[in-house]
Structure 1
C-alpha cells in the first residue's frame, strides 16, 4: 500500500510522525492476517527512506560548511539584537519596580499622616469625653457646695441681724441708763400721745384725710420729678429749696432692705399704722387699719442740750397695690415757747416695693423710697427763728427715722425666725 508524503514536510519529520501511528496500527492489527501484506510493504518503504535520508544528510553537511560563516554572523547579530531588547525590557522592568516602590513609599507616607491624624482625632475625642465626665462631676460638686453656701449665708444673715439688733438694744439701754432720771421722767411726762379716729371731731384731721387721697393720685407724677439719694439707711436729710418764690425743705432717700418684700411690707404696715405705745411685736399686720390720725405733744431733747416743746397733728393712710405698698403722711408741727408762731406743713410719701436685684446669696431684697417735703409758715416777727426751727425738725425726724428702722428690722427678723421655725 502506498502512502504519499505531504509537501513541505521533510521525510525525517514524516517518519517521526508516522511511526507512532504505525505502532498503534500494528498493535491494533496484530491479529489481522489481512493487513500483513500492507505492513510488509510499509516496512520496505521505510527502509528505502532511511537510505535516501542518509545520502541527503551527507549532501547537506557539505552545503552547511560553505555557508557556515554567514549563518554565524547572522546568528550573532540576532543574538545581540535579542540581548539589547532583553536589556531594554529589564531596564523598563527595573524602572517600573522603582516607580512602584516610590509610589508605595509615597502612599505609605500619606497613609501614615492620615493614621496620625486619625489617632490624634481619636485621642482628642477621648480627652473631650474624659473632660466632659470631669466637668459633670465638678459641676455636681459645685452645685452641692453652692447649696450649702446659700444655707450658711442665710444662717449667717439671720445671726448677723440678731447680733445687730441686740447690739443696738444694748447701746440704747446704756444711753437710757446714763441719762438723768429726773430729765427722763419729765420727757416721759411731756410726750403725751393721743390717737384719734378718722371720724373724730377734729376738722383739721378730716381735712388731712381728704388731702391724702388727692396726694395719692399725684404719687407717680411726684416720683418722676424726684431724684433719690441711695443710702444704707434713710437719712432724712432736709435741704432748703425754692419754688414759685416759696421756701420749702425736702429729703429724698432710697434704701435697699435685705429682706423679702412680704416681710418688709408687713413690718412697714405695723410701724406706720400702729399705736406708738402698743407692743409692736404682737401686732398682726392683717388686722391693722388702713387709716390713722394722731395729735400729741412732744418735748424733744436737743443734742446740744435743752429741749423744745412741739405740738404734732397728722393723719396717715396706706394703699396696698400689686407688688407695692404706698404710705402717705399729712401733718402739721407747731412750735412752742420761743418757737411760738412757727409751723411746718409736712407731706411725706413712702413706697415699699420689691427690688429687681438679688443679693449674692440669692435672696430677694426690698426697696424703700421716701420723699418728705416741709413748708415753714411763720407769723409776723418770727421769721428769724425759721431756720433753727427747721434744723430741730430735721434732727428730730432723723432720730425718729432711725428708731423706726430699728423697730422695723426687729420685726422683719422676728418674722423670718418664725417662718424658718
Structure 2
C-alpha cells in the first residue's frame, strides 16, 4: 500500500509532466501537423461516410468508382470539426490537471493533519512514560517568579539601608544644631575678660563646640571600665592593635579602634604628669586658640588649631580640629579622656570626623613602673 507521501510525489510528477508536454509541443509543431493531416483525412472520410447519396452512387457501380471531389465547404467543415475536437481535448486535459491539483492539495492537508496528530500522540505517550516532565512548565514559571522576588527583596534591602543612612546623617546634623545652641549658655559661664583677651581668640561657635565636647566627657567616664574590659585591653599583650568595625545592617564602616598598651619605667605620679603634659599638644601652633575659662582648668584642656598638609599631588589641604581633654585622678589610677571634632576645609569641606579616647594609668603590681 502506497503512503501519502508517495501519492503526493506521483501526483506532482504527473502534473509537471503534463505542463512539460504542453509547453514543449504546441499546436504549431510538426507533431501536431501530422496529427492535423491525419485528422483532416479522418474528417474527409467522415464527410464521405455521412454523405448517403455519394455512398449509394458509389455502391451502384463498383467497377468504375468516381473520384472523390471535396469542395471548399467540405474542407471548412472538416477544419471546424478538427478545431472543436482540439478544444474538447484541451478542456478535458485542463479538467484532469485541475482534478489532480485539487487531489494533491487535499492530500497535503490530510498529510499535515495526520502529522500533527502523530506529534500529539508521541507527546502524550512521552508524558505517560515520564509524568515529571508534564510539570516542567510550572517549575520553570516558579523559578522565574522566585528570581523576580529575590530581585525585589534585594532592592528593598538597598532602599532600607539608604533610608537608615539618611536617618543617621540627619541625626548628626541635629547634633551639630544642638551644639551651636550652647553659645548663649557659654557666654554666661565664661568671664568676659577671658573672651576678650588676645590669648583666647575663639569665636562663639568654637566655644559652643568645645563646651559641648566637654559635656560629653562625663558619660564617657562612667563606662570606662566596661569599655576597656570589653575590648580586651587588660589581657592584651604590650603593643599596638588596630581594627575596623562595621555596621551589620548597612555594611558601612562604624569606627576605627586603636589599642595601645605600654609599660613606663616610672612611678604613677611621674607617669601621669608626663602624659598630661602631652595632652597640651604643644606641637600644634597653627591658628591655635586655647580655651581655659571653664571648669577645672588644671585638669582640663580645650583648644582649636589647624593642621595643614601637602598631598602627593602637590595640593595643599587643611583641616580644623577642636580638641578637649580632662584628667581624673583617683586613688589607685589616673584616667584621661579626650574628644576631638575635625572639620575639613577646601576640597575636604563638608567632611568631618569624631574621635573619643580613653587612657588609664595604674601602678604595676611589682612596683617596677
Normalising by structure 2, report the TM-score: 0.37
Normalising by structure 1, report the TM-score: 0.33
Higher CA-based Rg: 1
